[in-house]
A and B are shown apart, each in its own frame.
Chain A
Amino acid sequence: MTTTPVEPEALEAAFEATIARHDRIEPRDWMPDAYRRTLVRQMAQHAHSEIIGMQPEGAWIGRAPSLRRKAILLAKVQDEAGHGLYLYSACETLGVSRAELTDLLLTGRQKYSSIFNYPTLSYADVGTIGWLVDGAAICNQVPLCRTSYGPYGRAMIRICKEESFHQRQGYELLMTMMRGTDAQREMVQESVNRFWWPALMMFGPPDTDSPNSARSMAWGIKRNSNDELRQKFVDMTVPQAEALGVTLPDPDLRWNEERGHHDFGEPDWDELAAVIRGEGPCNAQRMAHRRAAHEDGAWVREAASAFAERAGAR
Chain B
Amino acid sequence: MSADRREWPLYEVFVRGKRGLNHVHVGSLHAADDAMAVRHARDVYTRRNEGVSIWVVRADAITASSPDEKDPMFAPSGDKVYRHPTFYDIPDNVPHM
A residues apposed to B, CB below 8 Å: 1, 14, 26-29, 75, 78-79, 82, 85-86, 89-90, 92-93, 97-99, 154-155, 158, 162, 298, 301-302, 304-308, 311-312
Contact = CB atoms under 8 A, between A and B. Distances in A.
A82 B32 CA distance: 18
A99 B7 contact: yes
A127 to B, nearest CB: 22
B18 to A, nearest CB: 17
Nearest to B70: A14
Interface size on B, as a range, is: 20 to 34
A129 B84 CA distance: 54
Interface in B44-69: 44, 47-48, 64, 66-68
B81 interface: no
Q: Which 3 A-B pairs have the closest CB atoms?
A: A308-B33, A304-B32, A308-B32
Q: Is the interface of B mostly helix, strand, loop or mixed?
A: mixed
B7 A97 contact: yes
A162 B32 CA distance: 28
B27 A302 contact: no
Interface of B: 3-8, 10, 27-30, 32-33, 36, 43-44, 47-48, 64, 66-68, 72-73
Nearest to B36: A304
25 contacts: A26-B67, A27-B67, A28-B66, A28-B67, A29-B67, A78-B43, A79-B47, A82-B43, A82-B44, A82-B47, A86-B44, A89-B29, A92-B28, A93-B28, A97-B7, A155-B27, A158-B27, A301-B8, A302-B3, A305-B3, A305-B8, A307-B32, A307-B33, A308-B32, A311-B33
A302 B4 CA distance: 5
Contact of A306 (B3, B48, B73): B3
Contacts of B30: 98
B5 A78 contact: no
A203 B6 CA distance: 37
Given A29-B67, A89-B27, A92-B10, A298 B36 contact: no
B8 to A, nearest CB: 7
Contacts of A29: 67-68
A58 B3 CA distance: 29
Contacts of A307: 32-33
A299 to B, nearest CB: 9
